Amino acid sequence: MLDALAADRARVADLDAQIQDLERSLAALRLEKLVVQERLDTYKYPVLTLPNEIVSEIFIHFLPTYPSCPPLGGPLSPTHLARICRRWREIALVTPALWRAVSLSKISYSLPSDVKQIWLARSGSHPISIHMNEYARGNVPGGSRALAAVLLHCARWEYVKLRLFNSSLPTIEGGLPLLRHLDLELDYYPKDLVIRDAPLLRSVVLDVNTLSNIVLPWTQLTRLTLRVITIDDCIPVLQKVTNLVHCKLQLQDRDEGDPLPDIVLPYLSTLSCKQWGHGEYSLDIFIVPALRSLTVTEQFLQPSPIDSLKSFIAKSGCMLQNFSFDHIRSYFNVDSEDEQKIDGDPDPSGNESNSNSDSGSPRPALLDDKYTLVGVLVFLKKGAYLVLLPLSVLRTR
């Protein structure tokens, strides 16, 4: 028994010695760690040495260019920047420009309403850009609540695009002192939508429903787009926008009726007229002496494109610099597959179309042996000249 006690005492002494050795090793490691940590603490990451103002400006450039709207969530949202580190969050939350453009898609309707309010509140006193679109798949509730949240800040509206399918736009009380661009598409006929006090408003996009009962400061507009509408519905408005510089019309067929009156737009520089359907419109109703750029579909130049265009230029006295057909392929009496080949588009298999192919497919109706009668119009001062191009040129982009 005495021998066993002696052995245990010896073992304990040996363990104490080993523990002391390990503790000395641990103490040395802890000291080394402290030195390394102190060296790390003195190191500054370059991005963290930037002044807050520079970081804020970088954040702003990370987002889509205003007035385009970033998503409310996800890696392209300003909320993502606020989750990287504490300093970045502090900078993001005190940068109102990060939160001044709000996209209220149907996905955002499912978010708590206070998220939208918080986002708008973070924009401070900045003018804001609002994009709300209810024209999407399915019927998702929540649009009315989102619209109500936006209306609370209408005095700060600068760029507004509303596509309302389920929600009704109520009367907007007070003025819209910062509003520059208004884009409205409604699934209903609004009742007396009046916007008078909007001194900065210059650009407007409207559909036929909205145009029916809206009152705007028409004479101050310089840019106007009217969508899915007949020319008869456009004329009362076009007669009011006397300072218009840019105009885009997307027209439907009209029933035969009384002759259309002339529309005089003395400052109009660009005009785009597109029509869906097979009816014919005449450009001669427009008197636009300052016009420089014209885009039309073929219906506006019937029955003779060259004569119609020359008549339009002569009547307006304009010096046109740019002209284009919106659907030049429709001038060729061929099927859709041949249209692709004439335009030089790749076929569905991914192969380039061959402009010299002798496949035997029908030739364009307006072609002679070498040249196409639908060529390129070159405008020199007030004259219209037709340049005949070989088909091989037209077939390549």
Task: Out of 33-37, 172-176, 266-270, 308-312, pick the least confident.
Answer: 172-176
Diameter over CA atoms, the chain: 130
Average pLDDT over residues 386-397: 36
Q: Is the pLDDT of residue 18 over 90?
A: yes
Say how far apart CA 151 and CA 160 lie, in whole Å. 11
Look up residue 345 and give its two tokens: 């588009």
Say how far apart CA 258 and CA 10 lie, in whole Å. 121
Which are the contacts of 247, defined by CB distance < 8 A and separation ≥ 6?
223, 224, 225, 238, 241, 265, 268, 270, 271, 272
Question: Which pTM was predicted?
Answer: 0.71
Q: Is the pLDDT of residue 208 over 80?
A: yes
pLDDT given for residue 113 in this prediction: 56
- Higher-pLDDT residue of 297 and 22 is 22
- Higher-pLDDT residue of 361 and 6 is 6
CA dihedral 245, 135, 107, 148 (to 10 degrees): 70
pLDDT tens by residue, 262-286: 999 999 999 999 887 666 678 889 9
Band of pLDDT at residue 389, cut at 50, 70 and 90: very low
